[in-house]
Amino acid sequence: MTDATPEGGQRRLRAGVIGLGWAGQQHVAAYAADPTVDLVALSAMEEHLLDRFGEEHDVPGRYQDWKQMIAEAELDVVSIATPTFLHRPMAVHALEAGLHVIAEKPMAETGEAAADMVSAARAAGRVLDVSFNHRRRGNVTALKSVVDSGVLGKLYYAKTGWVRRQGIPGLGTWFTKAASAGGGAMMDIGIHMLDMTLHLMGEPEVTAVSASTHAEFGPLGRGGSGFGVSQVEEGVPFEVEDLATAFLRLDGGGTMLLESSWAQWIPHDLCYVTLYGADGGAHIEWGGDAARPQITVWTEVAGMPAELQPAVGEDGHHAAAVADFLQKVRSGDTAAHDGSLALRRAQVIDACYASAEAGGEVAVAR
């Protein structure tokens, strides 16, 4: 361990990253830019990525074996940015080795696997976090300030979604296999909107869901991230959904509509959240009309209908998620940061898939 200390007298943290795809690269950049952190190790199967990012950020430890990295690199914190089915074994191993862990979303392929991660964090007395980077967007932060100000009053309903015209990731790879991904569009991008909207609403519990799923594009090799028909590996079926919708019941009587799609016949990709309160409503979106305000609030001022457009700050993205994780680690309050909130998200997604299979409403596991 290094004895160097940043301003404030706290020891610099030694960080490593497992997985060097796009998300892993964001974690690498965040650690490299943080003056309180030494990025000392990277792990990936792709030797050229290890060389590229190791050289770019002067990282001494470069491992193709992630277990070897954990054993040898003397880390304090580690980011896991690998296929979903690897999150549980990697996180549990790292936590048991005494490391604090941040994993990419989704937390795990099932709620049961996510619960194993939480149990490991509690047993080890270490922080377990999940990177929901989109809640760090400037418009989301601005809307949270609006909600917290009380101008909307009691929130009782929300509509939210992330829909794509053509954007199935890795068609024919682990992304579209049930065992490795755990699910399709709902698991991949719907969970972002679920997290964001529950965060904005003040974390009400989801008590029950009624959901449906569809797979109309992927099984035909259509809807991939490029144009036209993607090349699907022969003999590998499309095992997940490319569109999912859900009606969620919240404690206190509130409700939410959630939709997510990787591919459907719509004009363009779109993300949105609309909140309905007793004293006002609010809407944010991106990916649609660029001329539309990033956030709009409808309410009443001095008895007159009013439309407000609050100021929107800069987006935080992965750098903010990593910074929040490091702050949790430095707080020393591991009991408050054991991954429980992300586990609840995983349990809601489990309930969505169970509802779709059963064809009716199901309760969310507690």
| 3-state SS class at 323 | helix
Q: Looking at the structure, tell me whether residues 46 and 104 fall in a common domain.
A: yes
pLDDT given at position 291:
66
Query: Residue 343 domain-assigned?
Result: no
Query: Residue 342 domain-assigned?
Result: no
Among the listed residues 312, 316, 318, the one whose alpha carbon sits nearest the alpha carbon of residue 285: 312
Domain residues for 253?
136-318+348-363
Q: Which residues of the chain have pLDDT under 50?
A: 1-7, 227-229
CATH number, position 109: 3.40.50.720
Q: Looking at the structure, tell me whether residues 150 and 125 fall in a common domain.
A: no
Q: Looking at the structure, tell me whether residues 34 and 156 fall in a common domain.
A: no
Q: Looking at the structure, tell me whether residues 121 and 247 fall in a common domain.
A: no
Q: Looking at the structure, tell me whether residues 231 and 311 fall in a common domain.
A: yes
Helices 111-124/340-358 angle, 10° precision: 160
Domain count for the chain: 2
pTM of the model: 0.92
SS3 string of 157-174? EEEEEEECCECECCCCCH
- Which two tokens mark 302? 């001095």
Query: Residue 229 domain-assigned?
Result: yes
- For 218-260, the pLDDT digits (tens) are 998 889 876 444 555 555 678 999 999 999 999 999 999 999 9
Query: Residue 8 domain-assigned?
Result: no
Q: Looking at the structure, tell me whether residues 151 and 256 fall in a common domain.
A: yes
Q: Looking at the structure, tell me whether residues 162 and 294 fall in a common domain.
A: yes
Q: Looking at the structure, tell me whether residues 225 and 266 fall in a common domain.
A: yes
Query: Residue 118 domain-assigned?
Result: yes
Query: Residue 117 domain-assigned?
Result: yes
Among the listed residues 340, 107, 361, the one whose alpha carbon sits nearest the alpha carbon of residue 205: 340
CATH number, position 186: 3.30.360.10
- For 13-33, the pLDDT digits (tens) are 999 999 999 999 999 999 999
pLDDT given at position 225:
74
Query: Residue 239 domain-assigned?
Result: yes
Distance CA 361, CA 208 (A): 7
